[in-house]
Amino acid sequence: MTNYEQGEVLLIDKPQGWTSFDVVAKIRNTIKVKKIGHAGTLDPLATGLLILCTGKFTKKIDEYQAQEKEYTGKLILGKTTPSYDAETEPDATFPIGHITKEAINEALKRLSGTIEQLPPMYSAIKKDGKRLYELARKGKTVELTPRQVEIKVFEITENQFPELSFRVVCSKGTYIRSLAHDFGRLLNSGAYLTELRRTRIGDFNVANAQTVEKFVKDFKEIREL
């Protein structure tokens, strides 16, 4: 039996619709440990790699959070949403007929390297003790502070205009939703995220991760042996 109380690193493939806390709570209730946490939040609509640490390995959470991350996803051009993703309904429509391949490549170039990025209003960042998404859902807005992030790779992997598939390799603290929003703005249009999957954190790959369902099933079977 694995000693989760002593300390383990678990790689979980987070399902769509679950919060990162939902995953932690489910695994905690399954393996019955007190010390457990995750190394980097994923939005409920996102899927992919979530690193969970138990026991003494919770000390490594900050180390894992700081590592490079890789994502794949899709965005739609010509519309924006308040949350910058499909969690909320479109609130504005923009023309897309003027967008060329050259303009897309130029926007990708301008959003690569070290950039300044504003977090979405629909985020878990705290402002005066309140989560931004709590304020946003009440229709309130606050002045946000730009963050410096590094975009090592931002490329379009499939063009089914106005839907674009992409791959991003980036630093800690990057909001892919904000990247999609800024991409639309640089094209003198709009854009929002429709799909997002985290495929890698440092040397940890989602290919080596388990679904929550499989982890729980395997754990119960081992306990019964």
Confidence of residue 1 (pLDDT cuts 50, 70, 90): low
CA atoms within 13 A on the CB side of 49: 23
Q: Is residue 135 scored above 70 in pLDDT?
A: no
Q: Give the pLDDT score at 128.
A: 65
Q: Is residue 124 scored above 70 in pLDDT?
A: no
What domains can be seen in the chain, in order of their start residue? Answer: 9-66+203-224 (3.30.2350.10), 69-201 (3.30.2350.10)
Q: Does the predicted TM-score (pTM) go above 0.75?
A: yes
Q: Give the pLDDT score at 120.
A: 82
103-112 pLDDT, tens digit per residue, is 999 999 999 9
Give catalytic residues, as residue numbers: 43
Mean pLDDT for 117-134 is 72
